[in-house]
């Protein structure tokens, strides 16, 4: 049954070793982010095989799936109050920006006889999570240090995910300096200074990450072999870890341009079409709930993706040399969001290749 996502674990392992080697050379440890593939333990196990000792996810439910792996587990999104008990059970550490939540984590950890590690987030311009007021962050750090059920593990920043503010030397220097200040106020050095995600790699390789920043939370670079600042592929990496196969259910010559009055889509936009004349078009049993059109590329370079509805993928196969037939499959190379949707969809089977 199709559609199927094929996961090339050998190529993933190559990516992990290549990217972590780049980071180790700069004295930076990696937290491997598992949210793209829904915390699938078979894929996360490849992270651990590649030498990654910290795993991060934005869902506690995904961290539950990772409990059998020998790695420190991080929740990389500020915790919800309603999930604090599960957080303490399944995560070793979490990124936080609210004192009330930290207090709740402290209470839950004490009740379970545990100590939970806390990383305080600072906002350096992306206006997502984190403290803007540095004095407030220092005050929360001091109060966290006094709690018995939590351990102040470090500080971190996130950039490029909401406002797409880029990581730069000035921001990394500010993060490192803030870490020193917090350390001075609490009387000890922080263990973790987390400088962001795959968008910081380009800056790191150019020597722009300040000494003292010792961690990056990486997902896209490990899985797809590219950094996010310029979307360039990293040396020694592969881009073909995830391949989606979908089955052709209709194959007919049709006009390039529809006829009739054009309405709007579900987002209120009117579609536009390029007139290429009569073309051979394939419809595959795959839709937007299963993958992302914008971050998918046909393996057959002569195929054009025309678009998709919720459960139909429309392709122009006129120029292909393959001579496709109904019932045959077409392969798509998946990017970040396409992989995320495929692993979220229960209609897409997952097959693992060693």
Catalytic residue, chosen from 10, 26, 27, 35, is 35
Identify the CA nearest to 126 among candidates 80, 81, 79, 175: 175
Q: Give the integer Cα–Cα distance in Å for 128 and 162.
A: 6
Cβ burial of 275 (10 Å; 0-12, 13-18, 19+) is exposed
- One digit per residue, the tens of pLDDT, for the chain of length 354 reads 999 999 999 999 999 999 999 999 999 999 999 999 999 999 999 999 999 999 999 999 999 999 999 999 999 999 999 999 999 999 999 999 999 999 999 999 999 999 999 999 999 999 999 999 999 999 999 999 999 999 999 999 999 988 888 999 999 999 999 999 999 999 999 999 999 999 999 999 999 999 999 999 999 999 999 998 888 999 999 999 999 999 999 999 999 988 888 887 777 888 788 889 999 999 999 999 999 999 999 999 999 999 999 999 999 999 999 999 999 999 999 999 999 999 999 999 999 999
**Distance between CA atoms of 243 and 245, rounded to whole angstroms?**
7
CA 92 to chain centre: 20
Hey, what CATH class is 242-353 in? mainly beta
Which residues face 55 on adjacent strands?
32, 73
Backbone Cα Rg of the chain = 23
Are residues 194 and 233 in contact, defined by beta-carbon separation less than 8 angstroms? no
Active site residue 35: yes
Look up the CATH architecture of domain 9-224: Alpha-Beta Barrel (3.20)
Q: Element (H or E) spanning 255, and its range? A: strand 242-255
Cα 185 to chain centroid, rounded:
34
Instruction: Give the span between the Cα atoms of 328 and 340, in whole angstroms.
Output: 25
Give the domain ranges of the chain: 9-224, 242-353
Q: Which long-range contacts (CB under 8 A, 24 or more apart) does 263-271 make?
A: 271/307
Q: How many other C-beta atoms can be found within 10 angstroms of the C-beta atom of residue 10?
A: 11
Question: Is 9-224's fold the same as 242-353's?
Answer: no
> Could you report the per-residue pLDDT of 77-133, keeping only the tens digit for each?
999 999 999 999 999 999 999 999 999 999 999 999 999 999 999 999 999 999 999
What's the length of the chain? 354
């Amino acid at each position: 049954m199709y559609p199927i996502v094929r996961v090339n674990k050998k190529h993933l392992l190559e990516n992990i070793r290549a990217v972590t080697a780049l980071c180790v050379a700069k004295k930076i440890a990696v937290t491997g982010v598992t949210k793209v593939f829904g915390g699938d333990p078979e894929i996360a196990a490849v992270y651990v095989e590649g030498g990654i000792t910290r795993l991060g996810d934005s869902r506690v439910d995904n961290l539950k799936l990772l409990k059998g792996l020998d790695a420190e587990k991080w929740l990389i999104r500020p915790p919800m109050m309603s999930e604090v008990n599960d957080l303490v059970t399944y995560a070793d550490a979490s990124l936080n920006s609210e004192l009330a939540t930290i207090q709740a984590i402290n209470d839950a950890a004490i009740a379970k006889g545990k100590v939970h590690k806390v990383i305080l987030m600072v906002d350096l311009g992306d206006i997502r999570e984190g403290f803007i007021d540095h004095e407030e962050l220092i005050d929360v750090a001091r109060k966290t240090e006094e709690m018995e059920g939590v351990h102040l593990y470090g500080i971190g920043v996130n950039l490029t995910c909401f406002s797409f503010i880029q990581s730069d030397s000035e921001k990394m220097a500010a993060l490192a300096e803030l870490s020193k200040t917090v350390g001075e106020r609490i009387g000890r050095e922080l263990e973790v200074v987390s400088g962001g995600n795959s968008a910081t790699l380009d800056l790191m390789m150019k020597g722009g990450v300040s000494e003292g920043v010792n961690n990056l939370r990486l997902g896209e670079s490990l899985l797809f072999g590219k950094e996010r600042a310029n979307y360039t592929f990293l040396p020694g990496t592969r881009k073909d870890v995830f391949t989606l196969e979908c089955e052709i259910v209709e194959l007919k010559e049709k006009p390039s341009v529809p006829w009739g009055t054009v309405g709007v889509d579900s987002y209120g936009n009117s579609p536009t079409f390029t007139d290429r004349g009569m073309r051979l078009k394939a419809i595959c049993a795959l839709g937007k709930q299963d993958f992302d059109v914008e971050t998918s590329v046909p393996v057959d370079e002569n195929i054009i993706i025309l678009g998709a509805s919720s459960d139909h993928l429309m392709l122009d196969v006129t120029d292909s040399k393959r001579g496709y037939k109904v019932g045959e499959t077409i392969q798509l190379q998946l990017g970040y969001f396409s992989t995320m949707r495929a692993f979220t969809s229960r209609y897409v089977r997952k097959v693992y290749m060693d």
